[in-house]
Amino acid sequence: MFNTVFKEIPIPKIPQPDQTPFVRLVNRILELKTQGADTTALEQQIDRLVYKLYGLTYDEVLLVEPDTSLSREAYQQISLKSSVNE
């Protein structure tokens, strides 16, 4: 049953270039973790990119993250495409 449940979860396939912001953030987090640094802000960036990847609206994000400090306007400006160039 465990495998059946996970087979139903849609996992988007994204082109290699669109994976770049995720890879950069994860590499930075790993680097900072070895230094004992707080990586919460970077982890939140990944969360927000995942929300965009799955096409969540701001109202849906509020269901997942009800205490978010992210404004509707700031969320609407997040883009996987623009994150590649950061």
- At 9 the pLDDT is 81
Q: Quick check: 86 pLDDT over 50?
A: no
Average confidence (pLDDT) over 70-75:
96
Question: Distances from the Cα of 38 to the Cαs of 20, 34, 46, in angstroms?
Answer: 22, 10, 15
**Does the predicted model carry a pTM greater than 0.95?**
no
C-beta neighbour count of 21 within 10 angstroms: 20
Q: What is the domain extent for residue 22?
A: 16-79
Count of domains in the chain? 1
- Give the whole-angstrom CA distance, residue 77 versus residue 60: 16
In a domain, 1, yes or no: no
84 occurs within a structural domain = no
Q: Has residue 7 been placed in a domain?
A: no
**Per-residue model confidence as pLDDT tens digits over 21-71:** 999 999 999 999 999 999 999 999 999 999 999 999 999 999 999 999 999
